[in-house]
């Protein structure tokens, strides 16, 4: 029998992935063979791999290529997303290093799992085939189920893991069913292939399958990005999970889910914008309203951040769906990427401040605990204030530019009403963000809390806050980056 | 092609027939003089204590989970085993990588002590 | 041959459906799990009928062989397996019924009506991916998913250990049957010795 021809593989495309997955496995071994009680070394090695992977991506800027039969690409869009994910993971590792031992849940697997999740996120950014996207999402989800339950003896952590697992499994069911229907309608699982098939026209009954499949896939991703009707799990899961994990989830899952959703909608289903555009616009509006209005009522800051992250999913979705309209194709992607970067930095910073306030066995997350923070820990108070301003979209912070970009994108896409809803909900959101600032600077401490601020946490908070303010004052480098990362659309 | 599986069907039917036949026949033909002792569940001649449906330790569950994962690993080997000659060195590298990754998992559970029963 | 296949199909389909109905209606969840295994098995036979050998073997090895074991162990991990007095019908079951019927109507019915059943497939052999082809596809088109699958399995393995494995020092022991019997005997004895005072529960 003849030998089977093996296609050539361009390992450069998967170089970052290889570093991260390889790194995760090295960490696993490092954990096994390192002594008890001091797993920080595993964390430091993880940081090394993350930085290495970020550097490894540099030569591939502006050199888009694909391999594995077009299942994996490395274009500027994917590269930028990868960098955002790597940055988020690095900050997450920094803020976890001292948190885990303080909570008595330090285990070396934590860092390995973080890197596996990161690999899943990168697969979602780089994948151009439904099967790869599904595998990436499962890799990310399974890791996060475990991480959510990482504070194992604590009941709320177990509850978070359980809820996330059940909802996640449900979402995966939707996704797989949708993928099956899309495959059945078009006969291919590759995004470009689906676009081709749609371009050449489908039979009437295949159109029904295609639409049903697309809807189910969007629902599947909608759970992951906590889009409006599928957002119920978010507050409970974020509240129960260990705080660094909640931070990672709020930026990681969301970013990766949006990355895959953007590629799916714009590359594979770009020609169907007329169908999904309005539906998603309505969902985005509902998401913004629900997230921000519910956040107003929260007195627990961690829960408030969870609700606000739902609201932010609405803003990011606004950018993604605007990109579907020919009038705002580039603007939408730019807005999506800028917003994602700003949101990632800001949210990680805010959660990091929560970590500083969290003592073992007792969480100081109520609004009152923030009272007078300025007098006790000026550094934390300033960082938190910056993050709150950025989340609210006040200039000169990165969050302002992110909002500016997505609102103009929606405007250019002809969705003026959506932009107006966005502005109104931002104004509502400003209320509860500013409330925290008022508490920190103008009130006296209600009870005695000594925040624990170690060096690594300080670096993490500092990095995030610095990014928020620097990208806010001079957004040019980021603008250059996102303008270079516009997704090549097939229409 | 499908006819290859006909013997399995036949065995199935035969097994089904024997099972049904034995149960029905012993019910119809056998004398039935039940006593309390006879109706007790058979536990090697001991007097049964408590209910048979007890809670199991989680160890069993863990072993079952590990079993599933390696079971799925083996599933991936089947199609490879049919074509390994034609795939040559490249296939060997790929399947080697696949195995290596799972071998790491094996080392991990071994070192953690999850394979020790007590 | 064709009529035989038809008969087998109808029997299998009926059995699968019946087993599925039993899974959701039986009160004892161990029995439900056993019915589930039965339905897994007949689905495997259906795959075989469609000449999807590999899928059929996977179905038997993974679902019938492994998943069902896990399901049974998971059930036995919990209390109250007999499920007496458990409500099985959700209060708003009719909503689920409507949704399911609507999905069925949208997805299945148009196909049934549009498909030209009368037209026989043309004489050309319909190609069915054999196991050999799946093997080559794993190494060529689907190389990336193949390798990622191993990573996914590894992560699942780690997850299982992190979640379910307790270090020996922190393990909560489940009593063996002998210990349980001994405990019960002692409890009975203490009851007999001091019938007036409240029998102090022997500490576990």
- How deeply is C95 buried, as exposed, middle or buried, from its count of CB atoms within 10 A (0-12, 13-18, 19+)? exposed
pLDDT at position B56 over 80: no
Kindly determine whether residue B2 and residue C165, on different chains, have CB atoms separated by under 8 Å: no
Residue of chain C minimizing CA distance to B75: C58
Give pLDDT, residue C85: 60
Element (H, E) at C47: helix C29-49
The answer to whether residue A147 sits within a structural domain is: no
Judge whether A29 is closer than 8 Å to chain B, CB to CB.
yes
Alpha helices in chain B (DSSP H): 6-29, 36-39, 58-112
Helices A378-392, A398-412: axis angle to 10 degrees equals 10
Kindly determine whether residue B81 and residue C135, on different chains, have CB atoms separated by under 8 Å: yes
Judge whether B104 is closer than 8 Å to chain A, CB to CB.
yes
Alpha helices in A377-489 (DSSP H): 378-392, 398-412, 416-442, 455-473, 476-483
The answer to whether residue A197 sits within a structural domain is: no
Chain C neighbours (≥3 Cβ pairs under 8 A) are A, B
The rounded radius of gyration (Å) of the Cα atoms in chain C is: 26
To test the contact with chain A by mutation, choose from C116, C151, C161, C172 the residue with the greatest count of A C-beta atoms within 10 A, namely C151
Judge whether A2 is closer than 8 Å to chain B, CB to CB.
yes
The 10 Å Cβ neighbour count of residue A452 is 15
Judge whether B117 is closer than 8 Å to chain C, CB to CB.
no
Kindly determine whether residue A32 and residue B87, on different chains, have CB atoms separated by under 8 Å: no
B90, B91, B108: residue with CB nearest A32: B108
User: What rounded mean pLDDT belongs to chain C?
Assistant: 79
To test the contact with chain C by mutation, choose from B6, B19, B53, B91 the residue with the greatest count of C C-beta atoms within 10 A, namely B53
Distances (CA, A) of A5 to A12, A117, B79, B97, C136: 21, 33, 17, 19, 10
Judge whether C7 is closer than 8 Å to chain B, CB to CB.
no
Q: How far away is chain B from the Cα of A430, in angstroms, using its nearest Cα? A: 48
Mean pLDDT calculated for residue range A452-463? 86
Integer Cα distance of B8 and C41 in angstroms: 13
How many alpha carbons lie under 13 Å from residue A22 in its C-beta half-sphere?
11
Judge whether A28 is closer than 8 Å to chain B, CB to CB.
yes
A138, A149, A204: residue with CB nearest C152: A138
The answer to whether residue A96 sits within a structural domain is: no
Give pLDDT, residue A49: 95
The answer to whether residue A215 sits within a structural domain is: no
Kindly determine whether residue A25 and residue B104, on different chains, have CB atoms separated by under 8 Å: yes
To test the contact with chain A by mutation, choose from C139, C159, C161, C169 the residue with the greatest count of A C-beta atoms within 10 A, namely C159
Kindly determine whether residue C158 and residue A21, on different chains, have CB atoms separated by under 8 Å: no
Domain boundaries, chain B: 2-112
Q: How far away is chain A from the Cα of C112, in angstroms, using its nearest Cα? A: 11
C146, C160, C173: residue with CB nearest B66: C160
The answer to whether residue A370 sits within a structural domain is: yes
Helices A204-224, A155-186: axis angle to 10 degrees equals 160
Distances (CA, A) of B12 to C2, C45, C52, C61: 20, 11, 20, 18
Give pLDDT, residue A491: 40
The answer to whether residue A415 sits within a structural domain is: yes
pLDDT digits (tens, 9 = 90+) for C159-203: 988 888 876 555 555 566 677 777 778 888 877 766 554 444 444
Q: Residue A73 pairs with which residues in a beta bridge? A: A66
- How does C114-128 read in b/e, with b if 16+ C-beta sit within 10 Å? eeeeeeeeeeeeeee
The answer to whether residue A431 sits within a structural domain is: yes
Is residue C168 within 8 Å of C153, Cβ to Cβ?
A: no
Q: How far away is chain C from the Cα of A349, in angstroms, using its nearest Cα? A: 28
Kindly determine whether residue A109 and residue C152, on different chains, have CB atoms separated by under 8 Å: no
Judge whether A4 is closer than 8 Å to chain B, CB to CB.
yes
Give pLDDT, residue C128: 65
Residue A441 domain boundaries: 271-491
Q: Which residues in A lie closer than 8 A to residue B92 (C-beta atoms)?
A: none
Give pLDDT, residue C201: 43
Judge whether B97 is closer than 8 Å to chain C, CB to CB.
yes
A4, A29, A32: residue with CB nearest B87: A4
Give pLDDT, residue A33: 85
Integer Cα distance of A341 and A52 in angstroms: 20
Q: Residue A300 pairs with which residues in a beta bridge? A: A366
Mean pLDDT calculated for residue range A422-426? 93
Kindly determine whether residue C148 and residue A4, on different chains, have CB atoms separated by under 8 Å: no
The phi-psi region of residue A326 (left if phi > 0; otherwise alpha if psi is between -120 and 50; otherwise beta) is alpha
The answer to whether residue A153 sits within a structural domain is: no
C8, C65, C164: residue with CB nearest B61: C164
User: What rounded mean pLDDT belongs to chain A?
Assistant: 88
Kindly determine whether residue C145 and residue A135, on different chains, have CB atoms separated by under 8 Å: yes
Mean pLDDT calculated for residue range A129-136? 94
To test the contact with chain B by mutation, choose from C143, C154, C159 the residue with the greatest count of B C-beta atoms within 10 A, namely C154
pLDDT digits (tens, 9 = 90+) for A379-414: 889 999 999 999 998 888 999 999 999 999 999 998
pLDDT digits (tens, 9 = 90+) for C22-31: 998 888 888 8
Distances (CA, A) of A151 to A88, A107, A232, A257, B44: 21, 10, 22, 25, 45
B83, B86, B104: residue with CB nearest A28: B104
Alpha carbon A20 to its chain's center = 18
Element (H, E) at A73: strand A72-74
CA-nearest of A313, A325, A186, A314 to A254 is A313
- Name the band, by pLDDT with cuts 50, 70 and 90, for residue A490: very low
Judge whether B112 is closer than 8 Å to chain A, CB to CB.
yes
Q: How far away is chain B from the Cα of C11, in angstroms, using its nearest Cα? A: 13
Kindly determine whether residue B87 and residue C136, on different chains, have CB atoms separated by under 8 Å: yes
Residues 77-136 of C with CB under 8 A from A: 106-107, 110-111, 114, 136
Mean pLDDT calculated for residue range A342-358? 90
Judge whether C153 is closer than 8 Å to chain B, CB to CB.
yes
Check the CA dihedral A397-A403-A404-A409 and report its sign.
positive
Domain boundaries, chain C: 1-84
Mean pLDDT calculated for residue range C97-106? 86
Chain B neighbours (≥3 Cβ pairs under 8 A) are A, C
CATH class, domain C1-84, is mainly alpha
The torsion angles phi and psi of A364, rounded to 5 degrees, stand at -105, 75
pLDDT at position B36 over 90: no
Give pLDDT, residue A138: 94
CA-nearest of A435, A206, B9, A136 to C41 is B9
Q: Which residues are CB-neighbours of A409 under 8 A, at least 6 positions away?
A: A318, A319, A322, A323, A328, A331, A332, A334, A335
Kindly determine whether residue A132 and residue C144, on different chains, have CB atoms separated by under 8 Å: yes
Number of folded domains that form chain A: 1
Helices A109-126, A130-148: axis angle to 10 degrees equals 150
pLDDT at position A364 over 80: no
Kindly determine whether residue B83 and residue C57, on different chains, have CB atoms separated by under 8 Å: no
Q: Which residues in A lie closer than 8 A to residue C139 (C-beta atoms)?
A: 4, 6
Give the pTM: 0.89
Q: Which residues are CB-neighbours of A247 under 8 A, at least 6 positions away?
A: A92, A95, A347, A348, A351, A352
Element (H, E) at A67: strand A65-67
Q: Which residues in A lie closer than 8 A to residue C156 (C-beta atoms)?
A: 142
B5, B56, B102: residue with CB nearest C76: B56
The phi-psi region of residue C130 (left if phi > 0; otherwise alpha if psi is between -120 and 50; otherwise beta) is beta
Count how many pairs of residues, chain A against chain B, have C-beta atoms within 8 Å.
23
- Name the band, by pLDDT with cuts 50, 70 and 90, for residue C148: very high
Integer Cα distance of A224 and A309 in angstroms: 12
pLDDT digits (tens, 9 = 90+) for C58-81: 999 999 988 998 888 888 877 666
- Name the band, by pLDDT with cuts 50, 70 and 90, for residue C204: very low
pLDDT at position B101 over 80: yes
Give pLDDT, residue B57: 76
Judge whether A269 is closer than 8 Å to chain B, CB to CB.
no
Give CATH for domain B2-112: 1.20.58.1610
Mean pLDDT calculated for residue range A298-324? 91
pLDDT at position C143 over 90: no
Q: Which residues in C lie closer than 8 A to residue B110 (C-beta atoms)?
A: none
Integer Cα distance of A110 and A245 in angstroms: 10
The 10 Å Cβ neighbour count of residue A426 is 21
Sole residue written with tokens 């274009």: A75
Judge whether B86 is closer than 8 Å to chain A, CB to CB.
yes
Give pLDDT, residue A200: 85
Give pLDDT, residue C174: 59
Give pLDDT, residue B79: 87
């Amino acid at each position: 029998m003849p030998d089977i021809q093996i296609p050539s593989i361009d390992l450069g495309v998967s170089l970052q992935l290889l570093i991260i997955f390889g790194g995760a496995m090295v960490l696993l071994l490092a954990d096994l063979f390192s002594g008890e009680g001091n797993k920080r070394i595993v964390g430091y090695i993880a940081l090394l791999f993350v930085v290495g992977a970020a550097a490894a991506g540099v030569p591939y800027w502006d050199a888009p290529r694909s391999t594995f039969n077009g299942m994996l690409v490395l274009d500027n869009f994917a590269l930028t997303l990868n960098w955002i994910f790597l940055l988020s993971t690095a900050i997450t590792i920094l803020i976890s290093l001292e948190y885990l031992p303080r909570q008595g849940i330090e285990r070396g697997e934590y860092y390995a799992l973080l890197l596996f999740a990161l690999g899943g996120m990168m697969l979602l950014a780089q994948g151009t085939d439904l099967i790869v996207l599904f595998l990436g999402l499962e890799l990310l989800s399974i890791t996060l189920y475990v991480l959510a339950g990482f504070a194992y003896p604590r009941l709320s952590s177990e509850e978070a893991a359980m809820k996330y697992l059940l909802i996640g499994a449900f979402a995966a069911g939707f996704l797989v069913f949708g993928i099956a229907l899309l495959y059945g309608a078009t006969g291919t699982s590759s995004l470009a292939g689906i676009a081709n098939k749609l371009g050449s026209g489908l039979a009437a009954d295949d159109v029904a399958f295609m639409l049903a499949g697309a809807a189910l896939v969007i629902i599947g991703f909608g759970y992951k990005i906590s889009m409006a009707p599928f957002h119920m799990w978010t507050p409970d899961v974020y509240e129960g999970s260990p705080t660094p994990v909640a931070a990672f989830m709020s930026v990681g899952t969301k970013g990766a889910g949006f990355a895959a959703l953007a590629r799916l909608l714009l590359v594979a289903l770009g020609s169907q914008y007329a169908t999904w555009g309005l539906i998603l616009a309505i969902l985005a509006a509902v998401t913004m309203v629900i997230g921000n209005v519910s956040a107003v009522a929260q007195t627990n800051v961690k829960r408030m951040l969870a609700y606000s992250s739902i609201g932010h999913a609405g803003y990011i979705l606004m950018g993604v769906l605007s990109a579907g309209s020919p009038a705002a194709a580039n603007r939408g992607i730019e807005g999506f990427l800028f917003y994602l970067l700003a949101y990632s930095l800001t949210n990680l910073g805010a959660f990091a401040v929560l970590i500083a306030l969290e003592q073992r066995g007792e969480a100081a997350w109520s609004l009152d605990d923030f009272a007078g923070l300025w007098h006790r820990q000026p550094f934390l108070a300033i960082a938190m204030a910056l993050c709150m301003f950025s989340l609210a979209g006040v200039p000169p912070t990165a969050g302002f530019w992110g909002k500016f970009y997505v609102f103009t994108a929606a405007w250019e896409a002809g969705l003026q009403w959506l932009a107006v809803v966005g502005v109104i909900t931002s104004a509502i959101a400003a209320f509860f963000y500013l409330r925290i600032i008022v508490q920190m600077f103008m009130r006296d401490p209600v009870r005695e809390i000594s925040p624990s601020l170690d060096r690594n946490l300080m670096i993490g908070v500092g990095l995030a806050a610095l990014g928020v303010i620097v990208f806010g004052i001079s957004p040019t480098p980021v603008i250059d980056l996102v303008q270079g990362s516009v997704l090549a659309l097939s229409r | 092609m499908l006819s290859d599986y006909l013997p399995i069907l036949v065995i199935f039917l035969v097994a089904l027939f024997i099972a049904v036949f034995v149960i029905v026949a012993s019910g119809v033909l056998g004398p039935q003089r039940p006593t309390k002792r006879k109706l007790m569940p058979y536990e090697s001649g001991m007097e049964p204590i408590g209910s048979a449906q007890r809670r199991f330790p989680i160890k069993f569950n863990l072993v079952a989970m590990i079993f599933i994962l390696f079971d799925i690993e083996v599933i991936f080997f089947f199609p490879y085993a049919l074509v390994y000659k034609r795939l040559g060195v490249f296939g060997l590298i790929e399947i080697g990588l696949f195995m290596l990754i799972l071998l790491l998992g094996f080392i991990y559970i071994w070192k953690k002590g999850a394979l020790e029963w007590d | 041959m064709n009529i035989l296949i038809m008969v087998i199909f109808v029997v299998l389909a009926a059995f699968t459906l019946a087993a599925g109905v039993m899974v959701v209606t039986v009160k004892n969840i161990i029995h439900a799990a056993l019915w589930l295994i039965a339905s897994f098995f007949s689905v495997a036979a259906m795959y075989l009928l469609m000449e999807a050998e590999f899928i059929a073997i996977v179905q038997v090895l993974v679902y019938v062989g492994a998943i069902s074991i896990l399901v049974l162990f998971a059930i036995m991990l919990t209390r109250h397996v007999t499920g007496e007095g458990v409500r099985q019908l959700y209060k708003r079951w009719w909503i689920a019924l409507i949704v399911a019927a609507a999905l069925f109507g949208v997805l299945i019915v148009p196909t049934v009506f549009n498909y030209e059943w009368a037209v026989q497939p043309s004489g050309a052999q319909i190609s069915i991916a054999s196991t050999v082809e799946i093997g080559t596809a794993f190494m060529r088109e689907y190389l990336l998913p193949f390798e990622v699958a191993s990573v996914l399995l590894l992560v699942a393995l780690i997850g299982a250990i992190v979640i379910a494995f307790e270090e020996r020092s922190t393990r909560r022991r489940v009593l063996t049957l002998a210990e349980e019997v001994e405990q019960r005997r002692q409890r009975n004895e203490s009851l007999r010795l001091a019938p007036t005072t409240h029998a102090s529960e022997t500490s576990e």
